[in-house]
Amino acid sequence: MSPEPPTVGGPDALRHLPRVRLPADRLRLAAAIALALLLAVVGIVGHRAGCDLRPEIAHRAAAIPRFLLTVVQVLSFVTVIGVPTAIAVERLVNREAEQVVDAVAAVAVSYVAAVCVNVATSHWPDSALAQGLGGSTPMQVQLAVGVAAVSVLGFGRGQWRTLFSSAAAIGGLAVVLLSDDSVTGVLLSALLGRIIAVGWICVRGAVDTRPGIGKILEELRRDGLRAHPGSVRVLDPGNEGTRRYRVSVECAERGCREVLELSVLDQAQRAAALPSRLWQWIRLRGPARRRSFLSLRRSVESEVLMAMAVAAAGLRTPALRSARQVDQDTALLAYDHVGAPRISGLPHDALTDELHQAVWTLWRQLRARQLAHRELTLDHLLLDRDGELWLTDVGYGEITAEDVLCRLDGAELLVCLALRVGPERATRQAAAALGPDTVASLLPLMQPILFTEDTAKALKRERARDVVGTIREQILALHPEADLEPVSLERVRPRTVLSVVGGAIAFYLLATQLTGFQLPSLDTWQAWGWVVAAVLASATTYVAAALNLVGCVKERLSFGTSVAAQVAAAFAGLVAPGAVGGLAVNTRYLQRAGIPVARAVTSVGVSQVIAFACYVLLLLLFSAFAGSRRQDGGGLSAITPSATVTGVIVGLAVLCVVVAAIPRLRTLVLNRVRPVITDVWPEVLQVARSPRKLAQALGGGFGLPLVASVCLWASVNAVSGGAVSLAATGVAYLVAKALGSLVPTPGGIGGIEAALTAGLTTAGIPSAVAATAVIVFRLLTWWLPVIPGWFAFAALQRRGAL
């Protein structure tokens, strides 16, 4: 049984709250530092580029009477200092001396920092800092001090905020017009005070000026709900750090004593969740995005409407007893307390079949009323003594929700039940309550990115159980024709961000590689003959890939269509890192060919396993031939892979020993390898039983890397005009292909080019020739095939083959 929440009582508890370190303060500090760095960089770059606007500003300001500008400047900065002083006096009258002490400390540090910057820039006027800030004394000390003071004290009243902001803006403009100081220096003065003040708050902790429990209980009394401070108990924080309390009240209207649960929404605490909400807003699209950037009032209105809609739907939910605004940054919501345990905390034997039926009945009612909870987990379902279900925490829900959101609730609910009772039983009970078709409709939405943070973390902890994968298998057993294709609700993936960054780096590397030499002219018939050979070899790679895929599928496939699918995969690979695009196209192609989804995935896995085995054997074969063809003169054919290959083998052996010796690594590797062996190995044996299929699979598996190596070999010969060893270029290609697959960019852009150039250079080819040959090779095997790949992709889609 969980311990009783702590009691808040007595007058001291109502007036004196401890210092708090709010995440919102750290967010403000990071934003201020980032903005200051950006302004400093812009100032430095602008100065070096000759974009100095100060002479033009001084020329325009000459028409304004200097006396008038001086008066405006003095009055503005008197206001900038006077407003914080008035606020400090108000704080002292309200017995908030600690906050005033913090403000004085921040003011002192800001003053010293601004003076130090001015001294440094006056002594070193030619430094980058002085040039970027502009002027020998760029820091406006009064502005830095005033901003530091109000950042600690706050404004309290909207009039103070308006007066201070206007005075600071007008005073800063007057300074720029009167002197040689730059706009950058004025803005950085304000940011300096802001950074020091917020940094002080982050280090020491801010005095909690949020309304205390006394103020909250006073607001309750205005609604006829009188509570004694001694009955207040602090509960665990809610979503986004919402403060929660349990309190006993005397209701004047009902004339009885009741227990309420209070949720206190603080604007400062909500701001701490802004980065995660912003990232979610960028990453997801459409209805999957949760409500973001709502004002406090709009958030309260939305929660009240959702609570009323759930109650009107006939579902049991805590009644909303009060909704009040405590101050401009705080709101209060009071609900009836339901003395029932959460389903997530029930023992395993309490999760009966009847409870499963009740849970799915509740979800079906929500869906029928177009209500989406958006956090429908077992933590938000209560089971009372009468066996009735209660739905809580409906504040983040949506009314008139799209059906995809309702199904997303169902998908997360199914995953949560599977985590408690096992995927088999959870899926079986859901199918019994909803029917196989409805349960199958939840499958495309089982994506951890769409779930709540707690559910996603639970799935990550239980990764070894593969909960979602087991649910998928159970649903396919009940509904073999279920659509497994995930609903596309992600706008940006972390992998995409890595791809963009990696692509930018790759472009930079390629640009630097191409600097300093020119593409040799292909002015001989022999050179053009090698180019034609490279083109034919590049085209043959798609035939080999299709042969490998056809050999791994028991059913009869059209070979021409299979080749077209491999060409289409070249287009899909342009937007997907590594071989992800090709795998997706092949799986979809097999599914459209009438092969069940599970077998399609397994067949593609078999083709990858066979291709990998052929890849390793071909690498060893090329290494042996390259070593035997070593030349004493170290010409273009010279390469000594024996030592390298030996080192790689020894390194792999040491790695295997380390993995086997460490239990945690051994378990991790076995958990990753075991599903592959269990699912793929029987299919490999099935392919081996058919000589024709085995010949096709092995022919394609060996042929793909072989003809790709021939393409690289021909490209090198076309550029160099000399005799280059096929084995040497084959080793370079196979090693570079392996390294490029680790680069998170489409097609390994950047990584493959660098690895190929390094490998060919190691083989004795001049670096300029190697880099040029690599560009020709990648042009033939990666960039140009995108054009026919797009046509093939579109044609296959029109025919329903993709």
Q: Which of 756, 681, 788, 765 is nearest to 719 (CA)?
A: 765
pLDDT of residue 516: 44
* CATH number for the domain harbouring residue 296: 3.30.200.20
Cα distance between residue 346 and residue 420, in whole Å:
10
Residues 575 and 462 in one domain: no
Residues 74 and 178 in one domain: yes
User: Domain containing 222: what range?
Assistant: 210-336
Residues 566 and 634 in one domain: yes
Sequence-ordered list of residues with C-beta below 8 angstroms from that of 683, at least 6 positions apart, any chain? 552, 602, 603, 605, 606
pLDDT tens digits, residue range 295-327? 788 888 989 999 999 999 999 999 999 999 888
Cα distance between residue 799 and residue 796, in whole Å:
5
Residues 327 and 399 in one domain: no
Residues 68 and 151 in one domain: yes
In a domain, 369, yes or no: yes
**Is residue 58 predicted with pLDDT exceeding 50?**
yes
Please count the structural domains in the chain. 4
| Among candidate residues 192, 207, 222, the one where a domain is terminated | 207
Q: Which of 79-93, 118-132, 168-182, 724-738 has the highest mean pLDDT?
A: 79-93
User: What's the token pair of residue 422?
Assistant: 């096992």
Residues 223 and 120 in one domain: no
Cα distance between residue 594 and residue 800, in whole Å:
11
pLDDT tens digits, residue range 661-716? 777 777 777 776 676 666 666 777 777 778 888 888 899 989 999 999 999 999 88
In a domain, 98, yes or no: yes
In a domain, 12, yes or no: no
Residues 200 and 253 in one domain: no
Q: Is 292 helix (H, G, I), strand (E, B) or coil?
A: coil
Cα distance between residue 125 and residue 139, in whole Å:
14
In a domain, 3, yes or no: no
pLDDT tens digits, residue range 3-18? 444 444 443 333 444 6
Could you tell me whether strands 320-327 and 256-266 are parallel, antiparallel, or unpaired per DSSP bridges? unpaired
Residues 222 and 326 in one domain: yes
Residue 790 CB-density burial (10 A; 0-12 exposed, 13-18 middle, 19+ buried): middle
Q: Is 236 helix (H, G, I), strand (E, B) or coil?
A: coil
Long-range CB contact pairs, 154-161, < 8 A, 24+: 154/87, 154/209, 155/87, 156/87, 156/90, 158/328, 160/83, 160/86, 160/87
| Residue 205 zone, left/alpha/beta (φ > 0; ψ -120 to 50; rest) | left
Residues 227 and 151 in one domain: no
| Among candidate residues 336, 354, 372, the one where a domain is terminated | 336
Cα distance between residue 350 and residue 383, in whole Å:
10
In a domain, 658, yes or no: yes
Cα distance between residue 268 and residue 287, in whole Å:
27
* CATH number for the domain harbouring residue 374: 1.10.510.10
CB 745 within 8 A of CB 700: no
Cα distance between residue 43 and residue 130, in whole Å:
10
User: What's the token pair of residue 765?
Assistant: 């080819």
> 103-117, 411-425, 513-527: which range is least confident on average?
513-527
For range 771-783, the mean pLDDT: 85
State pTM to two decimals.
0.58
Q: What share of the chain is helix, strand, coil (3-state, %, to 5)?
A: 70, 10, 25
**Is residue 560 predicted with pLDDT exceeding 50?**
yes
Cα distance between residue 276 and residue 265, in whole Å:
18
Residue 544 CB-density burial (10 A; 0-12 exposed, 13-18 middle, 19+ buried): buried
In a domain, 512, yes or no: no
Cα distance between residue 486 and residue 595, in whole Å:
18
Q: Which amino acid is at 262?
A: L
N- to C-terminal Cα separation, the chain: 55
For range 501-518, the mean pLDDT: 51
| Among candidate residues 336, 352, 378, the one where a domain is terminated | 336
Residues 246 and 374 in one domain: no
Cα distance between residue 260 and residue 254, in whole Å:
14
In a domain, 705, yes or no: yes
Cα distance between residue 488 and residue 428, in whole Å:
27
Residues 214 and 199 in one domain: no
In a domain, 648, yes or no: yes
For range 614-636, the mean pLDDT: 65
Residues in the chain: 802
Residues 392 and 457 in one domain: yes
User: What's the token pair of residue 444?
Assistant: 């495309």
Cα distance between residue 663 and residue 225, in whole Å:
60
| Residue 516 zone, left/alpha/beta (φ > 0; ψ -120 to 50; rest) | left
